[in-house]
Chain A
Amino acid sequence: MNTVEAPPAGAARAVTAKTVELVNVSRWYGNVVAVNDVTMTLGPGVTGLLGPNGAGKTTLLHMMSGFLPPSQGQLTVGGAPAWRNPEVYRDLGLVSERESVHGFLTAREFVTASARMHRLPQPEQAVRRAIELVEMTPAQDRRIETFSKGMRQRTRVAAALVHDPSVLLLDEPFNGMDPRQRLHMMDLLHSMGGAGRTVLFSSHILEEVEQVSGTVQVMVAGRLAASGDYRTIRRLMTHRPHVFVIRSTDDRRLSVALIAEESVNGVDLDASGLTVRAGDYGTFTRALPRIALREGIRVRALVPSDESLESVFSYLVSA
């Protein structure tokens, strides 16, 4: 695999960090609320926008890229609003989800047109760099309509990068890419983020997000459900949730023993069994067998209350 070139930051102008700020941003269509009171700040580095399908990620990205006005709230890119403000595109690159490209152009013509429309002083150079960055140099003179899905995607990324934007927004960029291309794209995004650019990409696949370091914003049903370091969120989402239902030979004695444990936050006792809320999943799961053995209690059933990722998402929302 080719090594990824360092982003053109050294040769081009220095990257000025720009933040994307959203304050109480909402967007609704009639009765349907697509984005519900989202407040977030995106700074330099790579941020992943994660969420199930229909969570409002594309709507949010369209608002950030100036293609949709927020129904409520303020949304600024580098201090200026994105809506009705073509100047914002000087420093903003967008790779939309729809695969549409002008198929009749060759890759090079497409990226060159992009460079010219950005009024770059030396378009050919920028175009060459951008195409090399996405490894499309051998195919650059073929018409885009002859390309595979992944190649089209990479061409669009090249067109979005040609003017060296400080902010890069990508909507489901890994759609349709094979593992090798995906790895390359991740490296690319990683290096862009490392150079001080604000990169936001959206995805509904957790594994894609976890391989790109940085912060994660999780959206569920239009609301911002979680933000922060992806590892923490990941543990919250994929490890066993902290609610267990236990049935044993002596529920009451077991509950007494469990509540003495540090990792246990609370215990509810009712006819169907014991509901344990554990603060530390790992410690609790190691402690339970020890306690049961010590007390001589036989544990008949141990059921984590929710398994699927969907219910985990809703768990995050209701939390």
Chain B
Amino acid sequence: MNPTVAWITLRGLIGRRRFLLLFPLPVLLIVLAVVGRTSGVRYENWGVPVIDGIGFTVMLPVIALIVGTGVLGSEIDDGTITHILAKPLPRSEIVLAKLAVAFGVTLVATAVPMFVAGVITHSVRLGVACAVACALGALGYSAVFLALSLLTRRPVLVGLLYVLLWESLLGNLLTGTRILSIHQYVLTVANELGDSKLLTTHVGWPAALIMSGVFVAGGTILSIDRLRSFAVAGETS
């Protein structure tokens, strides 16, 4: 994990205008949680759309996508990656630095609002559970999207397909795909740690933890290997 690479990556993320995109979704989440709480209706009725519908299904993957593809994808796009690669740094250091930044920024942008929303919805315990689940999801998504940045030239589109088609559509239609869905692991962890059993889960929590580990490790190792063989095309594009 190289601090200079991490610093450049962080500066690059924050400096860009796309950073502003990270704000509307958390704000919406908290606003709706407040609306729900102040309405007086029992939280079981509106808790799921808020926590799962907005938080875990939309806010977490979209923010993770924007950040995770931004840490490496934008540098590959405009060619500044050569400045980082033309250094005697082990490629694992570079990948871990970028993963750390992606995870960290996603974590702050998602776990904090999720904690607040969870507290508003029901209790502190729910808030903590949601935040921890968010952290796990952030790590998993970041690793996957980082790897996607190196595997394809359009990582955001492939990431969108994964989130939309694989996790949402197919996950509702074909139960088998649920074992390979980070969204499901997040739900499982949130349910296990929280006391409310609010969310419906389909994956047992040992499987969730193991598969999350597989995704994280797999994504990281794949990224490191691809970065080692990173080739630049002949002429300028």
Q: Let me know if chains A and B touch directly in the complex, using CB atoms closer than 8 Å.
A: yes
A54/B235 in contact, CB under 8 A: yes
Q: Mark A104-115, 1 if CB is under 8 A from B, else 0.
A: 110000000110
Q: Is B230 an interface position by the 8 A CB rule?
A: yes
Decide yes or no: A117 and B78 within 8 Å by CB, A67-B231, A98-B236 being known contacts.
no
Instruction: Render B54-86 as a binary contact track against A, CB cut-off 8 A, 1 for contact.
Output: 000000000000000000000000111011111
Give Cα A281 to B236, complex, Å. 40
Tell me if A102 and B80 are in contact (CB < 8 A). Answer: yes
Chain B CB within 8 A of A119 CB: yes
Pick from B83, B86, B88, B229: contact of A102, CB below 8 A: B83
Interface centre among B85, B86, B230, B236 (most CB of A within 10 A): B86
Q: Are A104 and B12 in contact (CB under 8 A)?
A: yes
- Min Cβ gap B54→A in Å is 32
The yes or no answer to B23 lying at the interface (CB within 8 A) is no
Interface size classification for chain A = 35 or more
B residues near A118, Cβ cutoff 8 Å: 87-88
Report the separation of the CA atoms of residues A97 and B234 in the bound assembly, to the nearest whole angstrom.
11
Binary flags per residue of B1-28, CB closer than 8 Å to A gives 1, else 0: 0111101100110011000000000000
Q: By the criterion CB–CB under 8 Å, are B12 and A114 in contact? A: no
Tell which of B16, B232, B234 touches A29, judged by Cβ atoms closer than 8 Å. Answer: B234
Is B53's CB within 8 Å of the partner chain A? no
**Does B34 touch A at the CB level, under 8 Å?**
no
> Which A residue sits closest to B91, measured CB to CB?
A86
Flag whether A34 is at the interface (Cβ < 8 A).
Answer: yes
Q: Is B213 an interface residue (CB 8 A)?
A: no
* Contacts A100-B79, A101-B83, A104-B12 given; does A117 touch B2 at CB 8 Å: yes
The answer to whether A113 and B4 touch (CB under 8 A), given A86-B89, A86-B90, A104-B12, is yes
B15 closest partner in A (C-beta): A104
Contacts of A96 in B (CB 8 A): 79, 82, 232
Interface 0/1 of B84-115, CB less than 8 Å to A: 11111111000000000000000000000000
A84/B229 in contact, CB under 8 A: yes
In Å, the complex CA distance between A155 and B160 comes to: 37
- Say if the beta carbon of B154 comes within 8 Å of chain A: no
Report Cα–Cα, A59/B236, bound state, in Å. Answer: 10
Establish whether residues A104 and B11, one from each chain, have CB atoms under 8 Å apart when the complex forms: yes
- Evaluate contact between B4 and A117: CB separation under 8 angstroms: yes
Closest to B236 in A: A98
Other-chain residue from A67, A84, A105, A160 in contact with B8 (beta carbon distance below 8 A): A105
Q: Which residues of B contact A68 (CB under 8 A)?
A: 231-232, 234
B228 beta carbon closer than 8 Å to chain A: yes
The reply to whether A34 and B8 form a contact with Cβ atoms under 8 Å apart is no
Chain A residue, CB-CB nearest to B231? A68
A54 to B91 Cα, complex, angstroms: 31
Whether the Cβ atoms of B86 and A59 lie closer than 8 Å is no
Q: Which residues of B contact A97 (CB under 8 A)?
A: 236
Nearest residue in B to A98 (C-beta to C-beta)?
A: B79
Contacting pair A100 B87 (CB below 8 A): no
- Residues of chain A within 8 A (CB-CB) of B91 are 86
B: residues with CB less than 8 A from A are 2-5, 7-8, 11-12, 15-16, 78-80, 82-91, 228-232, 234-236
User: Can you sample 12 A-B contacts with CB below 8 Å?
Assistant: A58-B235, A58-B236, A62-B232, A65-B86, A66-B86, A69-B229, A86-B87, A89-B88, A102-B8, A104-B11, A104-B15, A117-B4
8 new A-B contacts at CB < 8 Å, known A67-B230, A87-B88, A96-B82:
A58-B236, A84-B228, A86-B89, A89-B88, A94-B86, A102-B11, A104-B11, A105-B8
